[in-house]
Amino acid sequence: MPVSNITSNSSTPSTTNANGLTGFAALTSQDFMRMLLAELKNQDPTQPIKNSDLLAQLSQMQALQSNVELKSTLTNFANNEQMSSGASFLGKVVSGVDDKKAPVSGVADRVFTQNGTLMIGIGSKSISIGNVTGVALQ
């Protein structure tokens, strides 16, 4: 059943979120709950929503929330794993090329992420993990 005249209580549109996502990707479980409540409030009294339909919608919302939480957990796990593997370079002599293809070599003194890419810091320079060509003990 189509629902019209749904308004949001928030000051920002529900189609864009803080992460820059738009459309359905930007919807949160709170947005779905607002839509469900608007649907219940505006339903045709002669054809009310069936309990099974309501339970199906709630189940879908729970599945969506679980998927969002799982994605967040897996992203955090991947980031932690990436940092752990990068930490193994610390204190070792690392060689490779920087983003301008200039050769860089020296003792790795820091590990960080830049735009989602693991970087190995060598003094004032840095090398993307994909541009490392050699690693040796000091």
Options 1.10.3470, 3.10.20, 2.30.30, 3.40.50; CATH of 88-136: 2.30.30
- Quick check: pTM over 0.75? no
Cβ proximity of 129 and 119 under 8 Å: yes
Q: What is the pLDDT of residue 13?
A: 45
**H or E, element range at 56:** helix 51-87
**DSSP-based three-state secondary structure for 93:** strand
For 42-64, how does the pLDDT look when each residue is reduced to its tens digit (9 = 90+)?
887 777 777 787 778 778 878 88
